[in-house]
Chains A and B, each alone.
Chain A
Amino acid sequence: MLSKHLHWRYRFRKHLQRGLLYFILFAGAAIMILPFFWMITSSLKAADEITLRTIQWFPKIPQWENYKIAWEAAPFGTYFQNSFTIALAVTFIEVVFSSLAAYAFANFNFFGKNFLFILFLGTMMIPGEVMLIPNYITMVNFGWVDTYQALIIPWTVSVFSIFLLRQFFMSIPRDLFEAALLDGCSKFRYLLTVLLPLSKPALVTVMLFKFIGSWNSFLWVLILTNTPKMRTIPVGLTYFISDVGAYYNYLMAASTFAMAPILVLFLVLQKQFIQGIAHTGLKG
Chain B
Amino acid sequence: MLKIPLEMKSKRYWYETLEAYCYLLPAFVILGMFNFYPVLKSIYMSLFDWSLLRQQQYFIGVENYQRILSDKVFHQAIRNTVSYVVGYVPFSIGLALIVAVLLNSKIRFRGTLRLAYFLPWVTSSVAISMVWRWIFNQHYGLLNMILANLSKHVNSFVNLISLGNITTVWHFNNPNWLMDPKWTIINLTIIGVWKSMGYNVVIFLAGLQNVPHELYEAAEVDGASRWQSFWKITLPLISPTTFFISIISIIGAFKLFTQIYVLYTGRPGPLNSGMTIVYYVYRKAFEQYHMGYASAAAYVLFGIIFIFTLIQMAVARRRVHYAS
Chain A residues lying within 8 Å of B305, measured Cβ to Cβ, are 127
The CA of A234 and the CA of B131, in the complex, are separated in Å by: 13
* B298 lies within 8 A of A53 (CB): no
Encoded as 1 (CB less than 8 Å from any A CB) or 0, chain B from 231 to 266 comes to 000000000110111011001001101100110011
- In this assembly, does B227 line the interface, its C-beta being within 8 Å of a C-beta of chain A? no
Cα–Cα, bound, A34→B278 (Å): 30
A216-B125 contact in complex given A28-B99, A55-B146, A111-B17, C-beta closer than 8 Å: yes
Stretch at the interface among A4-12, A150-158, A170-178, A196-204: A150-158
Tell me whether A219 and B257 are in contact (CB under 8 A). yes
Cβ of A73 within 8 Å of any chain B Cβ, yes or no, is: no
Give the distance to chain A from B306, nearest Cβ to Cβ, in Å.
8
Cβ-closest chain B residue relative to A26: B113
Residue B230, interface by CB 8 Å = no
CB B25 to nearest CB in A, in angstroms, measures 8
A282 touches B116 (CB 8 A): no
Interface hits, A236-259 → B, CB 8 Å: 237-238, 241-242, 248, 251-252, 254-255, 258-259
Interface 9-residue window, one of B62-70, B158-166, B213-221, B280-288: B280-288
A100 and B26 form a contact (CB under 8 A):
yes
Which one of B27-35, B82-90, B178-186 is at the interface? B27-35
A233 within 8 Å of B by Cβ? yes
Are A278 and B134 in contact, CB atoms less than 8 angstroms apart?
A: no
Residue of B whose beta carbon sits closest to that of A235: B126
Tell whether, in the assembled complex, residue B123 and residue A263 are in contact, meaning their CB atoms are under 8 Å apart: yes
Does the CB pair A35–B132 fall under 8 Å? yes
CB of A134 within 8 A of CB of B295, answer yes
**A136 an interface residue at 8 Å Cβ cutoff?**
yes
The interface bits of chain B over 193-208 (1 if a CB of A lies within 8 angstroms of the residue's CB, else 0) are 0100111001101110
Find out whether the CB atom of A133 lies under 8 angstroms from the CB atom of B126.
no
Q: A127 contacts B119, CB within 8 Å?
A: no
Give Cα A259 to B285, complex, Å. Answer: 30
B20, B27, B266, most chain A CB atoms within 10 A:
B27
Chain B residues touching A, range: 35 or more
Task: Determine the residue in chain A with the shortest Cβ distance to B240.
Answer: A284
A259 with B123: CB separation less than 8 A: yes
Report the minimum CB–CB distance from A140 to chain B (whole Å).
8
Would you give the shortest CB distance from B225 to chain A, in whole angstroms? 12
Whether A255 pairs with B130 at a CB distance below 8 angstroms is yes
**Bound complex: CA A101 to CA B118 (Å):** 31
Contact B130 A137 (CB under 8 A): no
Q: Which of A128, A134, A153, A281 is in CB contact (< 8 Å) with B30?
A: A153
A35–B14 CB distance below 8 A: no
Q: Is the CB of A103 within 8 A of B258?
A: no
Within 8 A of B (CB), among A150-170: 153-154, 156-157, 159, 162
Give the CA-CA distance A53 to B279 in the complex, in Å.
34
Q: Say whether A185 faces chain B, with CB atoms less than 8 Å apart.
A: no
Query: Do A126 and B302 touch across chains, with their CB atoms under 8 A apart?
Result: yes
Q: How far is the CA of A116 from the CA of B21 in the complex (A)?
A: 10
Please state if B262 and A258 are interface contacts (CB–CB under 8 Å).
no
Chain B interface, DSSP helix/strand/loop, else mixed = helix
CB-CB under 8 A from B99, the residues of chain A are: 25, 28
A219 pairs with B119, CB closer than 8 A = no
Contacts of A248 in B (CB 8 A): 134, 137, 140
Interface string of A218-240 (1 = CB under 8 A from B): 11000100000000011101100
Contact A157 B30 (CB under 8 A): yes
List, in ascending order, chain A residues with CB within 8 A of B311's CB: none
A259-B124 contact, Cβ under 8 Å, with A55-B149, A110-B20, A130-B301? yes
Check if B107 sits within 8 Å of A284, measured CB to CB.
no
Query: Which residues in B have their C-beta under 8 angstroms from that of A100?
Result: 23-24, 26-27
CB distance from B35 to the nearest CB of A (A): 5
Query: Do B128 and A137 have beta carbons less than 8 Å apart?
Result: no
Q: Whole-angstrom distance from the CB of A259 to the nearest CB of chain B?
A: 5
Query: Is A24 in contact with B302, judged by CB distance below 8 angstroms?
Result: no
Interface 1/0 per residue, B36-57 and A, CB below 8 Å: 1111011001000000100000
Contact A242 B31 (CB under 8 A): no
- Complex interface: chain B residues within 8 A of A68 (CB): none
User: Is B1 an interface residue when CB atoms closer than 8 A count as contact?
Assistant: no
In angstroms, Cα B133 to Cα A38, docked, is 12
Please report which residues of chain A, range 103-142, place their CB below 8 angstroms from some CB of chain B when the two chains form the complex. 103-105, 108-113, 116, 119-120, 123, 125-138, 140
In angstroms, Cα B209 to Cα A274, docked, is 14
Q: Contacts A129-B255, A136-B285, A238-B262 hold; do A21 and B107 have CB atoms under 8 A apart?
A: yes
A131→B281 CA distance, assembly (Å)? 12
Other-chain residue from A38, A98, A233 in contact with B124 (beta carbon distance below 8 A): A233
Q: B258's contact among A125, A126, A137, A219, by CB below 8 Å, is which?
A: A219
**Interface check B114, CB cutoff 8 A:** yes
Contact A270 B127 (CB under 8 A): no
- Alpha-carbon separation in the docked complex, A193 to B261 (Å): 46
B202 to chain A, nearest CB (A): 5
Given A133-B298, A238-B261, A259-B127; A32-B16 close (CB under 8 Å): no
Query: Which B residues are CB-close (under 8 A) to A76?
Result: none
- Are B128 and A108 within 8 A (Cβ)? no
- In the complex, residue of chain A having the shortest beta-carbon distance to the beta carbon of B243: A284
Is B30 within 8 A of A111, CB to CB? Answer: no
In the complex, 13 of the A-B residue pairs with CB atoms within 8 angstroms, ordered by the A residue number, are A25-B102, A35-B128, A109-B7, A110-B13, A133-B291, A134-B42, A237-B124, A254-B127, A255-B131, A277-B203, A277-B206, A282-B206, A284-B240
